[in-house]
Structure 1
Amino acid sequence: METDNSFKDCVIVSCGTLSPEINYLKKEGFLDAKKVLFTTPGLHEIPKELETQLIDRIKKAREYSNKIIVVYGGKFCYVNSVDLFRTIDTIIKEQGEGIVRVQASHCVDMLAGKNEREEISRGEKVWWMTPGWILFRKHVFKDWDKGLANENFPKHTGGAIVLDGIGFFDHYIEEHTEEILEYSDWMAIPIIPHEITLDRFKKKLLDQLHKLQEGDTQ
């Protein structure tokens, strides 16, 4: 079947953490989806709620189209500690045909692959973030206290690198300097922006669009 690059017959169901990139691509005209639905950012910390919201958004998406692209990572976004064999793809498959998922391990991997991240980090251990991790900090790090922060962040000697494909950071820090400084202080590592393109993200979205257009949702 012939494919094209228009999402006009599709619905996007995405983690809210990636809403800055999704909305940027909508504004740019690349992502002309029939509808875009978001779950609450940061639900990787609350897998049961992630599952509930994902199923709910997919049901809502069915009201608009039977072609659905889920923008969620695999192994890092949903970990069911009660049933380790229950994955995000299991949940999606249970919702029926016509649903595909962007192939990446997590949101950071959608924006920059392993090799690119290794180049950026230059061998240092890095805590990777996206603009959503700045905007939705209270969701992403819900219930984290300073003790938990101290256990996790300081070992990242390369700092916290924000992969910025939307021209976000420079503008944001101008208006929220104190917030970023406090965030960095809480993490006990510097927050460093790194400019990227959204080419990898676009390709991953197009790969799934073409699968839907070809009727390949297995």
Structure 2
Amino acid sequence: MKSPGFADVSIVSCGTLSMELNHLRAEGFLDTEHLFFTTPGLHENIHELERQLLDRIATARQHTDRVIVVYGGKFCYVNADEPTRTMQQLIAEQGSGVARIEATHCMDMIASEAERQRIADDVAGGEKVWWMTPGWIKFRHKVFKGWDRGLANENFPRHSGGAVVLDGVGYLDAYMAEHPEDFLDYSDWMGIPIIPYPVTLDRFKTLLAEQAEKLRT
């Protein structure tokens, strides 16, 4: 799709999606000079997530009046201390000029729920799938910080369809070729096969473009 232009927009994102956003900037779709990232995997530490997110937004506002936040709305920020405090509320508190991408989590930014169901039917026969993006591979030790094999065994094996990586940047092919032992170790730790699935970044582009237009109206 044609870029609506992002020169007057800053992007603040979870670092898990840094590869996708840098890819879009390299290909010219994101023509902004202002990309800011929080540490990958902060959904495990929401107080640090909130601190870093507000810090990055403040920094972004020093460069542009418009800021797009690339964080999911449902699963990325679950505040056990204040259950009614949501990511949407957090963004609303930042006032005008700050908008969040409309998606539940990073996988939903790359493929919609309906698209993920079609993929699951294709590669896993409709079995339950653990979804990931390439950042969950590259930043494994941050995304799963504090997870031991016991916790892994409690969570992953129930996903009998395996772990499907929605790869829109071609990361997995290079990773498997250059680090085959690490790839096999990761799969062994999860207790399920890791399945690369090439996708486009068209949905991600659309979601970013929607918020850029929203900020201008």
TM-score by length of 1: 0.95
1:185 and 1:172 map into 2 onto residues whose CA distance is: 16
The alpha carbon displacement at 1:30 in A equals 0.4
1:212 and 1:93 map into 2 onto residues whose CA distance is: 13
The alpha carbon displacement at 1:93 in A equals 1.7
Aligned to 1:180, the other structure's residue is in SS state: helix
Counterpart for residue 126 of structure 1:
129
Counterpart for residue 183 of structure 1:
186
Counterpart for residue 153 of structure 2:
150
Counterpart for residue 212 of structure 2:
209
Counterpart for residue 11 of structure 2:
12
1:94 and 1:39 map into 2 onto residues whose CA distance is: 19
| Structure 2 unaligned regions, length at least 5 | none
1:165 and 1:95 map into 2 onto residues whose CA distance is: 31
Contact 1:17–1:41, Cα closer than 8 Å, also in 2: yes
Counterpart for residue 33 of structure 2:
34
1:1-218 to 2 correspondences below 5 Å: 5-122=4-121, 123-214=126-217
Aligned to 1:12, the other structure's residue is in SS state: strand
The alpha carbon displacement at 1:168 in A equals 1.2
Aligned to 1:68, the other structure's residue is in SS state: strand
1:34 and 1:172 map into 2 onto residues whose CA distance is: 28
1:178 and 1:11 map into 2 onto residues whose CA distance is: 38
2:171 and 2:57 map into 1 onto residues whose CA distance is: 29
The alpha carbon displacement at 1:92 in A equals 1.5
The alpha carbon displacement at 1:91 in A equals 1.4
The alpha carbon displacement at 1:34 in A equals 3.4
2:81 and 2:15 map into 1 onto residues whose CA distance is: 25
Runs of 4+ in 1 over 4 A off after TM superposition: none
1:31 and 1:65 map into 2 onto residues whose CA distance is: 15
Contact 1:34–1:64, Cα closer than 8 Å, also in 2: no
Q: Give per-residue Cα distances to partners, 1:53-96, cap 9 Å, x unaligned.
A: 00000010111011000000001000000111111121112222
The alpha carbon displacement at 1:165 in A equals 0.7
1:30 and 1:213 map into 2 onto residues whose CA distance is: 18
Q: Give per-residue Cα distances to partners, 1:128-169, cap 9 Å, x unaligned.
A: 000000000011000000000000000111100000111111
The alpha carbon displacement at 1:29 in A equals 0.5
Q: Give per-residue Cα distances to partners, 1:110-134, cap 9 Å, x unaligned.
A: 0000111111111110000000000
1:121 and 1:78 map into 2 onto residues whose CA distance is: 26
Q: Give per-residue Cα distances to partners, 1:4-60, cap 9 Å, x unaligned.
A: 700000000000000010010010010111300000001111110100000000010
What amino acid is the match of 2:47?
K
Q: Give aligned-pair identity as a percent.
A: 60
Aligned to 1:37, the other structure's residue is in SS state: strand
1:81 and 1:35 map into 2 onto residues whose CA distance is: 32
Number of positions where the alignment pairs a residue of Structure 1 with one of Structure 2? 211
What amino acid is the match of 2:77?
Y
